[in-house]
């Protein structure tokens, strides 16, 4: 994305936020000409200052399709996995069947936002916690119940469909 497009996107987002927050002084969703001009100027100043600081990479997450996918993920598979994990953790606390450990998995994700989405999904799900992501892209995850066996757990065993959704949403 070009530099001008990044400034324009920041200006548009800032201006839209200004309009939402002010709501206009003449009533619900009514702005005077002076308010619209002042908002445009403030949004311009914000975009000139904020764009070099906050917008460094690509802007793929501004695509509305990705937001719809993210919402579908949050209210679908992630919500179900979190509910299931809550029941599993409650069962393990009550029965004492806990075998904690740290597992190393390497998801096949390219972009940092996808890795962040996966790491946060893992951490927000009870029973798992992302401890670190190394330079090679390996995730170190504390898991409340690591199954017995000498084989390393497969990524799907640790975090289910989260990787597939992180790839769909952000990669």
How do the domains of the chain map onto residue ranges?
3-57, 64-170
Res 113: pLDDT: 86
171 residues of the chain, pLDDT tens digit each: 678 888 888 899 899 888 888 876 555 667 888 989 999 999 999 999 988 877 766 667 777 898 899 999 999 999 999 999 999 999 999 999 999 999 999 999 988 889 999 999 999 999 999 999 999 999 999 999 998 876 778 888 889 999 999 999 988
Strand ranges, E, within 24-122:
101-105
Token pair in block for residue 113: 């936002």
Using CA atoms, how far apart are residues 151 and 10, in angstroms rounded to an integer?
Answer: 48
Res 53: pLDDT: 79
**Residues 74, 120 contacting (CB under 8 angstroms):** no
**Residues 89, 125 contacting (CB under 8 angstroms):** no
Using CA atoms, how far apart are residues 168 and 128, in angstroms rounded to an integer?
Answer: 22
**Residues 142, 102 contacting (CB under 8 angstroms):** yes
pTM score, two decimals? Answer: 0.70
Q: Tell me: the pLDDT tens digits for 148-170?
A: 876 778 888 889 999 999 999 98
Count how many Cα atoms sit within 13 Å of the Cα of residue 1 in the half-sphere of its side chain.
17
Res 1: pLDDT: 61
């Amino acid at each position: 994305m070009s530099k001008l497009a990044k400034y324009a996107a920041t200006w548009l987002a800032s201006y839209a936020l200004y309009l939402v927050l002010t709501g206009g002084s003449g009533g619900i969703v009514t702005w005077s000409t002076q308010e619209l001009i002042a908002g445009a100027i403030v949004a311009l100043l914000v975009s000139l200052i904020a764009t070099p600081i906050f917008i460094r990479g690509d802007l793929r997450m501004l695509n509305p399709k990705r937001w719809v996918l993210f919402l579908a993920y949050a209210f679908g598979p992630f919500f179900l996995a979190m509910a299931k994990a809550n029941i599993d953790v409650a069962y393990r606390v009550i029965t004492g069947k806990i075998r904690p450990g740290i597992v190393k998995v390497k998801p096949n994700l390219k972009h940092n936002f996808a890795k962040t989405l996966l790491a946060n999904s893992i951490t927000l799900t009870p029973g798992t916690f992302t401890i670190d992501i190394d330079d090679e892209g390996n995730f170190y995850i504390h898991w409340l119940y690591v199954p017995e066996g000498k084989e390393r757990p497969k990524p799907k065993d640790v975090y289910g469909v989260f990787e597939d959704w992180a790839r769909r949403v952000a990669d």
